[in-house]
Amino acid sequence: MAVTISLLFVFAVLLIILLRSRALGAGSAFVAAMFGFYLAASGAAPTVNHLMRALVDALPNL
């Protein structure tokens, strides 16, 4: 659970940076957030979670 919360924080900070630098508009940010919510509710959620877990586990070995 800690990995999920920290990744959520990283993505939130990245989204804030993109919004402040005007690289991403408010409408695009809303669409990105809605895509994330719908992706989490879909059948692809376990696959995405496994992929992110594998990436996080691989980082210390780099």
Q: pLDDT tens digits for 23-40?
A: 888 888 887 887 788 778
Question: Hey, how many other C-beta atoms are within 10 angstroms of the C-beta on 43?
Answer: 7
In terms of residue numbers, what domain contains 37? 2-61
Look up the pTM and report it: 0.55
What is the number of structural domains in the chain?
Answer: 1
Instruction: Compute the half-sphere exposure of residue 57: CA atoms within 13 Å on the CB side of its CA.
Output: 6
Higher-scoring residue by pLDDT: 54, 35: 54
Give the pLDDT band (50/70/90) at residue 4.
Answer: low
The percent of residues in the chain predicted with pLDDT above 90, rounded, is: 0
DSSP string, the chain: -HHHHHHHHHHHHHHHHHHHTTSS-HHHHHHHHHHHHHHHTSTTHHHHHHHHHHHHHHGGG-
